[in-house]
Amino acid sequence: MRKYKTTIISSNRADYSLLVKLYLELMNSELITPEFVITGSHLSKEFGYTKKQIVENNIEFMEVLVDIKSNDSGIIFSLFAKEFCEFFQSNKPDFIVVLGDRFEMLSIVTLAYLNNIPTVHFHGGELTYGAIDDSIRHAITKLSSLHFSSTEAYANRIIQLGESPKTVFNIGSLGAENVINHSKITFGEIIKKLNIPLRSTYCIATFHPETHNPKTLLDLREFLDVCVSFDDLDFLFTKSNFDYLGNEFNETILDYCNKYSNLFLVDSLGSELYFSLVSHSQFVIGNSSSGILETPLLGIWTINIGARQNGRIRPVNVIDIQCKKKEIVYAINEVLNLKDIEIDPKKNPYFSVNPASKARTILEDILRRDSLSTYKEFHDIEPVRMSRDISNKKD
């Protein structure tokens, strides 16, 4: 029986926590031989060097090192293209697996397509109006051969983009079971691991640049000014991605942390430590997709700031506000009053039972019938009305 070689590619801490469960599931497949490839911020000391957590998880992996120090996303995009062109030519996977909407993933998927390597895409069809990720996600969808969405609405949007319904499957969020089934670490153990004087009344904060917002750095400063005004509440920040202005954001946050005793910045936490911290926290705040897709499953409230996540379907325990001092202060006081209300994770729109197992079953069923292909035809939702040809008509 033929075994299909698949390359699962992770470029940052966020997609790793979602993809690792799929990798472990595919390790048990009789049809698929998975290999895990890490790149991007996993191998960058400036952005957390999360390779160390992957080593601690005993995950076997390959590395594709790309220099991501430049502030020019176009240069980084081209470097990913160069390195993965060489990787695909030497490694020759039968198909690759990617997740989400990162710009470096668009570079990788484009190179796979040019090398006639099919892509399996997770979490397509979603919307984030406040970032360039939106268009990048849809572009990855059009270059992919098989699609796994996190909700039925997102599956329908993938079909709306012209993908055949036969290639689109709603399995729920890949991260759902990771969040709900994580091993909870006690707060005392967390403090020992982090080695910082974090008080028990704290929140988790992540604030990425809004790539469509020219005032995004000013918004960060306004948010930080509000944080330092809460003397009885600590703010534990995780670092920003290597997006446009990512370095500037991290430097600004670090500058505030050096000046104020209730602000802390960590490089990277790893999924087990991160979800444990969220479980013990008062709330989550910022503009990260994790605050929409993952942390609400723990029954923790999220304060989502600004337009970066506009378009995503919201769980009930997410409050949306603009990045204005009065709104941030009001929202923080509001969630502190709401934090003891129990939230049923099964009512979360992203909740799913064993999504990685579902994805494996679907993949195996497809591969038993036929191999994946980069060839596909545009699926029209309704028959297209042919326009009248008037090019040769007289006035």
Determine, yes or no, domain membership for 93.
Answer: yes
Q: What is the pLDDT of residue 390?
A: 54
**156 lies in the same domain as 294:** no
Any domain includes 386: no
Total domains in the chain come to: 2
- Residue 302 domain-assigned (yes or no): yes
| Contact assessment for residue 154 and residue 172, using Cβ atoms and an 8 Å cutoff | no
Judge whether 269 lies within some domain.
Answer: yes
Tell me the CA distances in angstroms from 358 to 21, 98, 171, one per residue in order.
12, 17, 7
- The count of C-alpha atoms lying within 13 angstroms of the C-alpha of 174, restricted to the half-sphere facing its C-beta, is 27
Residue 48: inside a domain, yes or no? yes
Q: What's the token pair of residue 122?
A: 């997770």
Please indicate, yes or no, whether residues 45 and 60 belong to a single structural domain of this protein: yes
User: Are residues 153 and 283 both part of a single domain?
Assistant: no
218 and 152 in one domain? no
Whether residue 244 is found in the same domain as residue 149: no
CB atoms within 10 A of CB 255: 14
Q: Are residues 69 and 31 located together in one domain of the fold?
A: yes
The verdict on residue 276 lying in a domain is yes
Write down the pLDDT at residue 133.
85
Same domain? For 230 and 280 the reply is yes
Same domain, 149 and 275: no
- pLDDT at site 215: 92
Domain range for 280 is 183-347
Q: Which pLDDT score, from 0 to 100, does residue 388 have? A: 58
Asked if residue 200 and residue 133 are part of one domain, the reply reads no
| Pair 241, 127 in one domain | no
On whether the CB atoms of residues 250 and 240 are closer than 8 A, the answer is yes
Does some domain include residue 135?
A: yes
Give the domain CATH number at 343.
3.40.50.2000
Quick one: 122 and 38 in the same domain?
Answer: yes
The pLDDT, as a whole number, for residue 362 is 97
Q: Nearest Cα to 6, choosing from 377, 364, 376?
A: 364
What single-letter amino acid sits at 144? S
Report pLDDT digits (tens) over 81-116: 999 999 999 999 999 999 999 999 999 999 999 999
Residue 392 lies in a domain: no
Q: Do residues 225 and 150 both lie within one domain? A: no
With beta carbons less than 8 A apart as the criterion, state whether 271 and 239 touch. Answer: no
Q: What is the mean pLDDT of each run of 10 residues along the chain (395 residues)?
A: 92 89 95 96 81 89 89 89 95 96 95 97 92 91 98 96 97 87 90 94 95 90 98 95 82 97 89 92 95 94 95 96 98 93 90 94 95 93 64 54
